[in-house]
């Protein structure tokens, strides 16, 4: 494969990819959610289900869909197995070699009424089966529902400690950041860290202040930050992140900026464009691929077509993703060698 023989689309499809910002419930394909919906007696109309998968230029986001899944559609551990298996199979076809999936146990346990240990086992079983069948490695992150009470975050961590799994390696935090900053959950983050879990956090999304990013980096010492867009408003914090190589998982299809900017100006004003130029340790992720109408290859291609990343930038993103992954150093070195071989004829 030479420069003359390959297109940017080919590069973005075939590059060995590591993804660390992907929500399990954001991966559910239309066929599967329709099956769950029919089984539950159609709490959502067929038109509503169809609308879940229509992105549009001003997307409304996916959080309401997740609430509906917890309340009405997810019923059995096998449902979680199916969702996980289907997404890992699709990801392997996109040359994703490793993925960390985020899951909100609070909703599964308290709303869907599936015990934590049973739910975790179903997800992990699918991960094990897909690693054998497709060669894709994966791990699980339990995410705090920031719109629930802090006590429920602490309860989630209790479940994790009571039912440990080698594949459940960290905690995160998601749902709407506005009015629910990470500071509310400091105790749970610190207790998780003290018990050996890795830490990531959605911060600086929805236009939320850079102070949230500063908090997760400097107060709870997060290993990674998810989104992190408003860091560009604080040059001093940018300098720290560049100097200390603190990773940020960016999402080209993030709904907030699609709503904020008109389509003709969106790509020029999106923070990712500036984050690339600032040298931050960023790399593209799909977040909620089914509902964002995106796949890993498209997310990578958007970095080039929309934000003017170059092929050398793509190699940097691949290295950044490997650096950010919560795996052992020997595995990272193996993946770096694979990336070197892939990019050598292209640069």
DSSP 13-39: HHS-EEEEEEEGGGG--HHHHHHHHHH
Asked whether 346 and 311 are in contact (CB, 8 A), the reply is yes
To the nearest whole percent, how much of the chain has pLDDT over 70?
A: 98
Task: Find the mean pLDDT for residues 148-155.
Answer: 97
Q: Which CATH class is domain 8-346?
A: alpha beta
DSSP per residue, 191-231: HHHHTT-EEEEEES-TT--HHHHHHHHHTS--SEEEE-GGG
Per-residue pLDDT tens over the stretch 215-258 = 999 999 999 999 999 999 999 999 999 999 999 999 999 999 99
- The residues spanned by each domain of the chain are 8-346
Q: What is the largest CA-CA distance in the chain?
A: 57
The whole-chain average pLDDT of the chain stands at 96
Quote the pTM value.
0.95
| Average pLDDT of the segment spanning 161-172 | 99
For the record, the structure tokens of 272 come out as 């990712």
pLDDT band at 3 (very low <50, low <70, confident <90, very high): low
* Amino acid 170: pLDDT: 99
**pLDDT of amino acid 87:** 99
How high is the pLDDT of residue 63? 82
113 pLDDT above the threshold of 50: yes
> Alpha-carbon distance 80 to 119, whole Å?
7
Mean pLDDT of 83-106: 98
Burial class (CB in 10 A: 0-12, 13-18, 19+), 233: middle
Confidence of residue 1 (pLDDT cuts 50, 70, 90): very low
| pLDDT band with cut points at 50, 70 and 90 for residue 4 | very low
> What digits encode the pLDDT tens for the residues 119-129?
999 999 999 99
Question: In 3-state terms, what secondary structure has residue 93?
Answer: helix
pLDDT at residue 213, as a whole number: 98
110: helix, strand or coil: helix
Burial code (b: 16+ CB inside 10 Å, e: under 16) for 285-309 equals bbbbbbbbebbbbbbbbbbbebbeb
Q: Tell how far CA 75 is from the center of its chain.
A: 24
- 224 contacts 246 by C-beta, under 8 angstroms: yes
310-338 average pLDDT score = 98
Confidence category of residue 330, pLDDT binned at 50, 70, 90: very high
What pLDDT was estimated at residue 226? 98
Task: Look at residue 67 in the predicted model and tell me its pLDDT.
Answer: 92
Q: Is the model's pLDDT at 61 over the cut of 80?
A: no
Rounded average pLDDT over 166-195: 97
Q: What is the pLDDT of residue 5?
A: 47
């Amino acid at each position: 494969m030479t420069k003359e023989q390959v297109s940017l689309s080919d590069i973005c499809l075939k590059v060995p990819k590591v993804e660390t910002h992907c929500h399990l419930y954001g991966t559910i394909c239309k066929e599967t959610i329709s099956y769950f919906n029919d089984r539950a007696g159609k709490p959502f109309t067929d038109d509503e289900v169809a609308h879940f998968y229509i992105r549009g230029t001003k997307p409304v986001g996916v959080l309401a869909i997740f609430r509906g899944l917890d309340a009405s559609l997810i019923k059995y551990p096998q449902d979680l197995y199916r969702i996980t298996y289907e997404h890992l199979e699709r990801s392997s076809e996109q040359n994703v070699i490793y993925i960390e999936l985020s899951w909100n146990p609070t909703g599964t346990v308290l709303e869907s009424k599936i015990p934590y240990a049973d739910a975790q086992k179903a997800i992990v079983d699918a991960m094990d089966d897909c690693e054998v069948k497709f060669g894709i490695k994966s791990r699980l992150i339990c995410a705090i529902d920031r719109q629930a009470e802090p006590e429920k975050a602490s309860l989630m961590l209790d479940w994790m400690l009571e039912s440990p799994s080698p594949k459940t390696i960290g905690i995160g935090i998601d749902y709407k950041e506005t009015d629910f900053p990470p500071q509310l959950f400091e105790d749970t983050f610190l207790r998780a860290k003290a018990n050996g879990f890795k830490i990531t956090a959605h911060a600086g999304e929805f236009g939320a202040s850079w102070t949230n990013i500063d908090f997760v980096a400097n107060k709870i010492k997060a290993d990674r930050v998810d989104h992190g867009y408003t860091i560009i408003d604080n040059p001093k914090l940018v300098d720290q992140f560049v100097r200390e190589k603190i990773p940020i998982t960016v999402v080209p299809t993030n709904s907030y900026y699609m709503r904020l900017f008109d389509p003709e100006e969106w790509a020029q004003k999106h923070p990712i464009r500036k984050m690339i130029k600032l040298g931050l340790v960023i790399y593209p992720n799909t977040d909620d691929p089914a509902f964002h109408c995106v796949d890993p290859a498209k997310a990578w291609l958007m970095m080039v077509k929309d934000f003017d990343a170059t092929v050398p930038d793509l190699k940097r993103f691949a290295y950044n993703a490997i650096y950010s992954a919560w795996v052992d150093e020997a595995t990272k070195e193996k993946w770096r060698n694979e990336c070197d071989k892939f990019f050598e004829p292209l640069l």
